[in-house]
Amino acid sequence: MSRTIAMVKGTIWAPEWSTYTDRRTGLKVHQLTDYRGHSRLPYFTEHPLYDDGKRLLFISDRDNSANLFSIQLETGEMTQLTTYANNDDLDVALTPDEQYALVSDKRVIRALHLTHFREKIKYRCPEGYVLGNVTCTADSRTLLTCITEDLSQRIDTDLGNGYVGHREWMDAQPNSIIIAVDLKSGISREVFHTRHFVTHINASATLPWLITFCHEGPWHLVDHRIWGLDLRSGDVWTIRERHEQGESVGHECFLPDGEQIGYHGIAADGTCFFGRIRYDNTGLEEQKIPFSTWHLYQNERLVIADGQGEVDTLHLWERDEKGRYAGSYEVCELRCSFHSQKLHAHPRLSDDGRRLFFNSDRSGYGNVYMVELPEDVQRLPRFEPLDHLD
């Protein structure tokens, strides 16, 4: 395990990686980090790769503070990008031009240049509000975030560790505002205001005027989960209407084409499924799956899910030209506790579908892992449900 003497921006950490053969599928799994503190990917809706796919952003708790690092995927060497002290966690988004990482410490959002590492504060959360996630428009010009009225003084709250207060915040209908910040001028403006618990701002990867957001809360109880917003006009609309009372749909994420939105859910009768739909509510496709899952990410061809409960492996489906899905195929054992947001698997495919990145605390600490997927994923073993899961 490597160790630095002091927290210095630009410090190169020696490689920590190792490789093992997955005992279920035979694939090589690369453990990219190994430190006695949690390391993790950015949230799975944000693209973590830059420098032509040679570098990967990750967050790591080292020297008793969360900071941003990058890892060189050819050598394993890691570069420390920030030196925040006494910081619990970060939220990170890469600008599509790969020039900046937008880094939120839940109080301020900074733009960090990925070459010379200089930082500049772009937004400060106002008093009485909490700062949501950060994302960036497809033209790399606008930072987007949301702020929500802080209810923690009157509602028992620990949303990052067990969703304590989750429903209560939904029921309270806090004041929420979506904020757009011009990255060049630093000028911020309110683009949407509502009396709902709003989070999960996602920017399209190709259309700079398009974002989605959600009304947060238990998925089966929230009035509607997935919403679209046109930044040019301010128009807001629902995406993927609920098909029945009690249905749960969420974890929406743009596919790389920037027009389709993937999600997963559970029907009222307990049937699990994933789907995709275009932002204008056309092109709906849905597929039943044999188990529930924590998270699910899609590109145009592949779907990856991290399972739940007894399903402790990463699973893959492949979509053909007619929209039919083959799978599920087992990729590797996961052994992730999901004990807190820092310890969620948050699997993410590279856009070319050749590499899979995920988090796991299989060793006791959260670390970042990578699997290079076979060219023919249908050679992977199929998932066979255990009898007691039928």
The arithmetic mean of pLDDT across residues 63-75, rounded, is 96
Going by pLDDT thresholds of 50, 70 and 90, the confidence category of residue 386 is: low
Q: Is the pLDDT of residue 343 over 80?
A: yes
Percent of the chain with pLDDT over 90: 88
Q: Is the pLDDT of residue 27 over 70?
A: yes
Listed in sequence order, the residues at least 6 apart from 220 whose beta carbon sits closer than 8 Å to its beta carbon are 246, 247, 248, 266, 268
Tens digits of per-residue pLDDT, 125-137? 999 999 999 999 9
* Arithmetic mean of pLDDT over the chain: 94
Q: Is the pLDDT of residue 102 over 80?
A: yes
Q: Is the pLDDT of residue 3 over 70?
A: no
Q: Is the pLDDT of residue 6 over 60?
A: no
State residue 345's pLDDT score.
Answer: 97
The arithmetic mean of pLDDT across residues 335-350, rounded, is 94
CB 370 within 8 A of CB 27: no
pLDDT higher for 332 or 155?
Answer: 332
CB 61 within 8 A of CB 38: yes
State residue 141's pLDDT score.
Answer: 98
The arithmetic mean of pLDDT across residues 243-261, rounded, is 96
For the CA atoms of the chain, what is the radius of gyration? 20
Q: Is the pLDDT of residue 71 over 70?
A: yes
State residue 155's pLDDT score.
Answer: 83
Going by pLDDT thresholds of 50, 70 and 90, the confidence category of residue 389 is: very low
State residue 390's pLDDT score.
Answer: 35
107-116: Cβ within 8 A, 24+ apart: 107/131, 109/134, 109/143, 109/145, 109/181, 111/143, 111/183, 112/68, 112/81, 112/82, 114/50, 114/51, 114/70, 114/81
Tens digits of per-residue pLDDT, 181-214? 999 999 999 999 999 999 999 999 999 999 999 9
**Can you give the pTM of this predicted structure?**
0.94
The arithmetic mean of pLDDT across residues 335-347, rounded, is 93
Tens digits of per-residue pLDDT, 213-228? 999 999 999 999 999 9
State residue 5's pLDDT score.
Answer: 43
Least confident range from 4-8, 76-80, 220-224, 227-231: namely 4-8
CA distance 377 to 390: 25
